Amino acid sequence: MTTQEPRAYGSTELDYNTYLKVPDLLQLQLPQSDPAHHDELLFIVIHQAYELWFKLILHEMESALELVRADEVLKAQHFVKRVVEIFRILVPQIHILETMRPVDFLQFRDRLNPASGFQSAQFRELEFLAGLKEERYLAFFKNRPELVEILQKRLAGPDLRTEFLGMMKRLGLEIRAVYQHPEKHLEVYLLSESLVEFDQYLGLWREHHVRVVERIIGFKQGTGGSSGVNYLRSTTSKKCFPELWDVRCELSKES
């Protein structure tokens, strides 16, 4: 067996910029305002950064889902935990936008209309893959049949909530028993709590997002046609894993 020598630096064409396609990446921020408003770059970069993280989250969730299907409890938890850590930093990131004065946003907001967060396919994929499947959101992708197809596949495909419940059945476990006696079912308990944390941080993201939105546009209508803040507030209590939240009401102090 031959061992491979580490490549000497500079021995190939591959460098930081080639590998990461940095020049390509830096070409992708194209303001709509003309002349470009100073703050539009912030607005574009923050959305693109979120979309990149969403891509990674989907990648990690797909692995977690496969591992849940294979009853590999701790291995699945490893990936869910990573998603939680990503979300932990995605929540405070939204506040960078509060450095944008409402009056500055108005200088280019009209140019974005009718583009809207409603059209973030990856955000919807993420919800669908977790198990929060609301078909009504497909309506916002009418002009993008390729995205409708992706989302329809996610709707019809496996999701973490259903697969988790299937795994519990195969293992002969009730959620209540796991939460009543966490130490007896430690691995499943850890996975369950990571899924709860996922819900927690997604919910926190929604809450922080709506607060930022209120601060910047008040109660104006959204560019996607919703009522804006009132609609967004109505989403903050959504849960991907309701069974894992409901169990809290069923526990007793008896061991």
140 touching ligand HEM, by CB under 6 A: no
* Helix residue ranges, H only, the chain: 16-20, 22-25, 40-69, 73-93, 102-112, 121-130, 145-156, 160-170, 175-180, 186-217, 229-235, 242-250
Residues in region 71-100 near ligand HEM by CB under 6 A: 94, 97
Q: Which of 32, 33, 58, 105 binds ligand HEM (CB under 6 A)?
A: 105
CB count in 10 Å sphere of residue 223 = 18
Q: Which of 55, 70, 59 is nearest to 163 (CA)?
A: 70
Dist. CA 62–CA 79, nearest whole Å: 9
Dist. CA 189–CA 180, nearest whole Å: 10
CB count in 10 Å sphere of residue 84 = 22
Q: Which of 33, 107, 120, 236 binds ligand HEM (CB under 6 A)?
A: 120
Specify the residue, 105 or 245, whose C-beta has the smaller distance to ligand HEM.
Answer: 105
Dist. CA 136–CA 128, nearest whole Å: 12
57 touching ligand HEM, by CB under 6 A: no
As measured in angstroms, the least distance from the Cβ of 93 to ligand HEM is: 8
Structure letter (DSSP) for residue 32? S
As measured in angstroms, the least distance from the Cβ of 155 to ligand HEM is: 16
Handedness of CA 180, 186, 192, 198 (dihedral sign): positive
Q: Which of 29, 33, 107, 226 binds ligand HEM (CB under 6 A)?
A: 226
Q: How far is CA 174 from CA 128, 159, 165, 179, 186, in A?
A: 24, 19, 9, 9, 13
Q: How far is CA 242 from CA 200, 214, 246, in A?
A: 11, 28, 6
Q: Which of 197, 224, 236, 245 binds ligand HEM (CB under 6 A)?
A: 224
Binding range to ligand HEM, per CB under 6 A, among 22-30, 33-41, 65-73, 208-216: 208-216
Specify the residue, 46 or 86, whose C-beta has the smaller distance to ligand HEM.
Answer: 46
Residues 6+ apart with CB under 8 A from 221: 227, 228
204 touching ligand HEM, by CB under 6 A: no
217 touching ligand HEM, by CB under 6 A: yes
Q: Which of 92, 102, 218, 225 binds ligand HEM (CB under 6 A)?
A: 225
Binding range to ligand HEM, per CB under 6 A, among 74-82, 147-155, 164-172, 217-225: 217-225
Q: Which of 168, 213, 244, 247 binds ligand HEM (CB under 6 A)?
A: 213
Q: Which of 57, 121, 223, 247 binds ligand HEM (CB under 6 A)?
A: 223
Dist. CA 50–CA 93, nearest whole Å: 9
216 touching ligand HEM, by CB under 6 A: yes
Binding site for ligand HEM (CB under 6 A): 46-47, 50, 94, 97, 105, 116-118, 120, 123, 209, 213, 216-217, 222-226, 228, 231-232, 235
